[in-house]
C-alpha cells in the first residue's frame, strides 16, 4: 500500500531575476512499512522534497499525498514524526518542556505525554539531561532530542532529514538502532542521507536524486546494475546525469 505519493512535483525558487529549478516532475511512491533512503549530492533537491512533503513550501505543480490526504489541503501532521536536518529548539526551555509541547501539540493527554517523554528520553540516552536547558546541549544531544520529539506521539510515518549528520559513532549507532526498531514495528521511514553505508544497512528501497531529477528508484540490488558497489553505482548514475545536462546545455 502506497503511503507517500509524490505525483509530478516541480518546484523552482527565485534566483536573481530568474527562477532556478529545484525539482522537475518528481514522481515517487513509498510503501507502508518500508525504510526508504533518499540519496543525492548536495543541492540535489532532497531537503526541498521533504519541505514540500511537510507543506513548509508549496509546489509549482503536482500533488503530494500522505495516505489519502492531500498535502496543503488536509491535516496530516499527526501522522508524521519529523526530524529536521539541524534540529533547533527554544534554547531556554528544558528537554522535558520541549517534549511536553510537542506531545500536547500532537493531542496527547498530559499524563501520557509525561510518561512517553521519559520513555523516549531514556531510549535516546537523554534521561540525565531531561531538566537541562537546551542551550547547554551539544549538537549530538540536540539531534537525539529531535528524534525523541519525532518518536513521542508514535506516528506511522517518520521523515528524517540527514538523521546521522553531526553525530559521533555512538550517536549514529543509537539512531541506527532506532530506525531498525521502527522497521521491526512496520513503521514507514523516509530519510535523506549522504552516508551510503547507512543506506545499505537500513533501507528496503532507495531513490537517487540529482539536480532535481529522480535518477533511480527501487531496491538496492537493482541499482547494482550500474556498478559493483552502491558507491560505484551512485557515482555512475550522477556522472551519467551530469553528462546529459552538459550535452543539453
Partner 1 sequence: MSQISLVAKITFKDCIRTKGLYGIFLLGIILFAANIIFTGMFSFEIGKMAVDMGLSVISFSGLIFIFFFSIQSFFNDFEKKTIYMIISRPISKAEYIIGKFSGLGLVILFSSLVLGLCAAISFKLSVMGHEAYIPQHFTWSFFFIAILFLTLSLLIMLGISVLWTCATSHQFIGFLLSLMTYFIGHNMETVKNMILSTKIFPSDALPIKTINLVSWILPNLAVFDLKTQAAYGLMPDVISLIWIALYGLSYIGLCLIISIWIFNRRELA
Among 54, 147, 151, 230, which residue interacts with partner 1 (rule: CB under 8 A)? 54
Look at residue 5 and give its three-state secondary structure.
strand
- Establish if 70 lies at the interface with partner 1 (CB under 8 A): no
- Helix ranges restricted to H, 81-195: 95-105, 110-123, 139-151, 169-184
Return the bridge partners of 64, or none.
6
| Strands 157-161, 80-83: pairing kind | parallel
Distance in Å, CB of 132 to partner 1, minimum:
13
- Establish if 246 lies at the interface with partner 1 (CB under 8 A): no
Please say whether the beta carbons of 155 and 81 come within 8 A: yes
Distance in Å, CB of 47 to partner 1, minimum:
9
The x, y and z cell numbers of residue 94, run together, are 528544558
- Establish if 240 lies at the interface with partner 1 (CB under 8 A): no
- Establish if 248 lies at the interface with partner 1 (CB under 8 A): no
User: Which strands sit side by side in the sheet containing 157-161, from one edge to the other?
Assistant: 80-83, 157-161, 188-193, 35-39, 205-210, 213-219
- Establish if 136 lies at the interface with partner 1 (CB under 8 A): no
Distance in Å, CB of 79 to partner 1, minimum:
10
Draw the binding track, 72-111, toward partner 1 (x: CB under 8 A; -: no contact).
Answer: ---x-xx-x-x-x-xxxxxxxx---xx--xx-xxxx----
d(CA 73, CA 12): 21
Residues in contact with partner 1 by the rule CB under 8 A:
13, 48, 51, 54, 56-58, 75, 77-78, 80, 82, 84, 86-93, 97-98, 101-102, 104-107, 133, 149
Amino acid at each position: 500500500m502506497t503511503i507517500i505519493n509524490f505525483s509530478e512535483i516541480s518546484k523552482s525558487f527565485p534566483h536573481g531575476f530568474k527562477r532556478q529549478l529545484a525539482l522537475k516532475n518528481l514522481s515517487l511512491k513509498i510503501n507502508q512499512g518500508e525504510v526508504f533512503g533518499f540519496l543525492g549530492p548536495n543541492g540535489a533537491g532532497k531537503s526541498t522534497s521533504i519541505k514540500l512533503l511537510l507543506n513548509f513550501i508549496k509546489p509549482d505543480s503536482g500533488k503530494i499525498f500522505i495516505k489519502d490526504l492531500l498535502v496543503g489541503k488536509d491535516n496530516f501532521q499527526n501522522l508524521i514524526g519529523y526530524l529536521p536536518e539541524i534540529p533547533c529548539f527554544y534554547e531556554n526551555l528544558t528537554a522535558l518542556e520541549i517534549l511536553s509541547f510537542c506531545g500536547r501539540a500532537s493531542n496527547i493527554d498530559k499524563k501520557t505525554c509525561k510518561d512517553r517523554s521519559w520513555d523516549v528520553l531514556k531510549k535516546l540516552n537523554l534521561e540525565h539531561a531531561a531538566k537541562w536547558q537546551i542551550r547547554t546541549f551539544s549538537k549530538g544531544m540536540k539531534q537525539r532530542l529531535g528524534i525523541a520529539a519525532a518518536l513521542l506521539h508514535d506516528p506511522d510515518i517518520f521523515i528524517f532529514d540527514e538523521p546521522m549528520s553531526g553525530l559521533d559513532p555512538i550517536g549514529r549507532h543509537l539512531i541506527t538502532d532506532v530506525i531498525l526498531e521502527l522497521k521491526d514495528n512496520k513503521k514507514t521511514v523516509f530519510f535523506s542521507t549522504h552516508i551510503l553505508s547507512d543506506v545499505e544497512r537500513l533501507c528496503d528501497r532507495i531513490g537517487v536524486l540529482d539536480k532535481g531529477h529522480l535518477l533511480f528508484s527501487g531496491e538496492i540490488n537493482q541499482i547494482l546494475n550500474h556498478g559493483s558497489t552502491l558507491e560505484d553505482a551512485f557515482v555512475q548514475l550522477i556522472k551519467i546525469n551530469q553528462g546529459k545536462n552538459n550535452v543539453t546545455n
